[in-house]
Amino acid sequence: MQIGDIKINKITRLAPMASISNIPFRLIALECGSGMITSEEIDSAALVSGNVRTNYDIAGYLPEEKPIALQLLGATDKTLVPAAMILEDRGADIIDINMGCPMRKITKTGRGAAMMKDIIKTSKILRSIRSAIKIPLTIKIRGGWDDQTLNAPDFARMAESEGVDAITVHPRSRTQKFTGYAPWDVIGKVVDSVNIPVTGNGDVLSMNDAKKMKDQTGCHSVMIGRAAIGNPWIFSEDFEKLSSNDKYDYKNKIIRKHMILIREYFRDSAALLQTKKHLCWYAGSNRMVRPFRKKLFNAKSISEAEDIFEKFWANTIKNDRNINYEKIPLTIN
């Protein structure tokens, strides 16, 4: 897949997720095989106004993350255009506009999926952004605002006519949010409607699912979001081929590196919260998770949280009859 002069040589890539697709998690996704990464959504108004957290934490990235798409959230060209120009000046490789977030706190202000309600208004916004920046411009959309207005194909044609270089489609409508079945056929309809690259998204739980989506819809790449949380090795095309021992060894290496990155990037209470959240997700959903979670979220320090996880991890391995316990490294310190 190619977006402008940016080549993406892998099938899958990490989706933008608020408060999750931060620098440490993006680096882990790349380590596991994500073809490219997109930042978590950046509020365009906050960026333009100089909000410190938005400018340096949410919109920040490291050189080793490039090429990177930085995703903007907004509802008017008054904030989206200058925000896109700021990010281009800072070295963004792609500007992506969020037109798919279904959360009410976002859509009630006209942002996210609400931008799909008025194609004419949104076309003018895209035209303004396109004329202001030179780097590739992409959008992430949904199947439509609701099940009565599944206008993704029409919306995609409009976006292409306004100079958008690629589109990501989550086929559920805004009213569906993340419930029910994701109708992949909507992705296929978008693919058939435009001549620019299309990325599919939704209900991809494994590399095999990603390959099925690509085959069934004709999309050029697949974006994975929620299924990658606590499971970043989903981006590895070789992970499922590993032995049980090697899988646990690989997981332990990734978890250990993630914890180091969290400590390096975040500070104090933010680092502790990130550590707890991700260790909880890495624990999965086996029968021992509930008491583990209670202990984990009562931890007062990162080292205490990691120690609690290490003991849980050791017990998990001991209870897996396919694992040679003696060969698996346990420590994440």
- The yes-or-no answer on residue 219 being catalytic is no
Decide: helix, strand or coil at residue 186. Answer: helix
Nearest to 100 by CA among 175, 204, 22, 183: 175
The amino acid present at 240, given as its one-letter code, is E
DSSP string of 287-298, one letter each residue: TTHHHHHHHHHT
Question: 245, 329 in Cβ contact below 8 A?
Answer: no
Nearest to 70 by CA among 45, 103, 43, 49: 43
Provide the phi-psi class of 167: left if phi over 0, else alpha when psi is between -120 and 50, else beta.
Answer: beta
DSSP 121: H
Nearest to 195 by CA among 166, 162, 226: 166
Sequence length of the chain is 333
Decide: helix, strand or coil at residue 300. Answer: coil
Q: Which residues lie below 8 Å from residue 150, measured CB to CB, with a gap of 6+? A: 143, 144, 173, 186
Question: 332, 306 in Cβ contact below 8 A?
Answer: yes
The residues carrying an active-site annotation are 101
